[in-house]
Amino acid sequence: MKFIATLSILSLYCHCLFAQNKVVVIDKMSGTPLPNAVVANKHTKVTSRTNEQGICNLSYTKGDTLLCSHSGFYFSVKRVYRLPDTIYMNPVQNKLQEVEVKSPYAKYYEDSVERALTYRKTIKDAKHKPQMNMSNGIAFDGVISELAYVASGKKKKNKAFVKQLEEDNKQRYIALRYNTQLVEKLTSLKGNAAILFIQYNPMQYEFARAATDLEIQMWVRHHYDEWKANPSTDSLLRKFEDMY
């Protein structure tokens, strides 16, 4: 009896953990539903699109962060405090010759969501694990197909692809905060010299995520002082200039 009760609690927990909830996306200015909006759970990377009524179903819970993008609207980042939740999108007002003006961060998050949507099947397959089905006794769901999937070599390739995709996202974020424009602004380095400085002084993704703008600037200046003090810097610069 105790075993059955434990299984029931575990089954209920799994259902709550992976249950899908409704998301409604609304045009804040007009109050009308927004179809074809891309909504993603920032933590799980799972994405979905809204239907004609501006509604989609997505696995999320309180405390999660939802990312939402739609052509002609500002990118939205929403912390979930209630279930189901509603996202209000602000239309882009600032346009120049019909070209939307977006911040680099908005472009980064929008591109990340679009990539997650484009490669959602590959990402899902790479992270898929056979599930244990506890209804009507104990059985394993998808074990045979999982073995065939692994044997074909596709799982290994998909995992490598997803890992590369995640690494690319990290490098794109680092480039938002640490780039030639910043190096040229804070140091005497220009052009190729600034590029070489960045190559020889890579920034860790975790630091780029957590650091304030001031801490980023201090980091660049500190590494620049070490760069100038290095006796081999001049020869490196000459070789780099000869290459380009």
Peptide bond just before 84 cis, omega within 30 deg: yes
Phi-psi region of 191 (alpha: psi -120 to 50; beta: other; left: phi over 0): left
Asked whether 28 and 89 are in contact (CB, 8 A), the reply is yes
Alpha helices (H) along the chain: 2-18, 104-118, 120-127, 143-151, 154-177, 180-186, 192-200, 205-210, 213-229, 233-243
CATH code matching the domain that covers 2-101, chosen among 1.10.10.10, 3.40.50.300, 3.40.190.290, 2.60.40.1120: 2.60.40.1120
What is the per-residue pLDDT for 167? Answer: 85
pLDDT, one tens digit per residue, over 12-70 is 444 444 568 899 999 988 888 989 888 988 888 888 899 989 999 999 998 898 988 88
pTM: 0.47
What is the per-residue pLDDT for 184? Answer: 94
Q: How many CB atoms lie within 10 A of CB 232?
A: 8
Helix (H, G, I), strand (E, B) or coil at 213: helix
What distance in Å separates the CA atoms of residue 217 and residue 234, rounded to the nearest whole number?
Answer: 23
Whole-Å CA distances, 140 to 6, 18, 123, 131, 144: 18, 18, 22, 6, 9
What is the per-residue pLDDT for 47? Answer: 85
What is the per-residue pLDDT for 130? Answer: 55
Phi-psi region of 103 (alpha: psi -120 to 50; beta: other; left: phi over 0): beta
Q: Which DSSP letter does residue 33 get? A: B
Helix (H, G, I), strand (E, B) or coil at 73: strand
What token pair was written down for 116?
């997650």
Domain ranges of the chain: 2-101, 124-170, 178-243
Mark the ranges of the chain whose per-residue pLDDT is less than 70.
1-19, 93-103, 105, 119-155, 158, 239-244
